[in-house]
Chains A and B, each alone.
Chain A
């Protein structure tokens, strides 16, 4: 079975940093684009970042460009989201999801709270 195990969410102060991890299993990881999608009560679902199979192509939502970095480890079958200079508006549940233009499998999500 496809599984995406997400971890790393926490309470962090504005301006702080956090690294989210997503461990994949049950499929050939190197065959798929991977994504981070977040859900906030105010803005709903937002496609935050995407990385291609070998890590050479990355996409970022405009509001996180220059602050967030997506990366992947194709040996350990994991994808990461490094979040720096966090803002209150980055508060959300962050999901790891598999797919190129739609997400066919999602992890359970991890809560990131940015608050002073």
Chain B
């Protein structure tokens, strides 16, 4: 199975500052020029919400301060100017090839 490792496990960022979360996969997620990597946000008591798929394609309605980048085995979720409502746990998830589709362990983002 592909192992997804996020870093850091938690971080605290001030309002208006940039937050960066890393996700590394144990094998390349690149196939046919597409990276099969998604990012989710989970607020307390809520289900996960899809933010980004194919590494950098933002979902409709997701603020443009959220962006995804990377290729192969190294990916990044960036929140350009942190808002209070961005406090949550963030997960990456790979979908390369056949299941099992695995998630990272999560990164808890807090407001400093």
Q: Do A and B assemble together?
A: yes
A21 to B71, CA, bound (A): 37
A109 to B36, CA, bound (A): 25
Is there contact, CB below 8 Å, between B103 and A46? yes
Report whether over half of chain B's contact residues are helix, strand or loop; otherwise say mixed.
Answer: loop
Is there contact, CB below 8 Å, between A103 and B99? no
The number of residues on chain A lying at the interface, defined by a beta carbon within 8 Å of a beta carbon of chain B, is 19
Closest residue of chain A to B105, judged by CB? A44
Contacts of A46 in B (CB 8 A): 103
Residues 44-66 of A at the B interface (beta carbon under 8 Å): 44-47, 50, 59, 61-62
B49 on the A face (CB < 8 A): yes
Is there contact, CB below 8 Å, between A102 and B106? no
Is there contact, CB below 8 Å, between A47 and B100? yes
The contact of A47 among B40, B49, B59, B101, by CB within 8 Å, is B101
Is there contact, CB below 8 Å, between A101 and B102? no
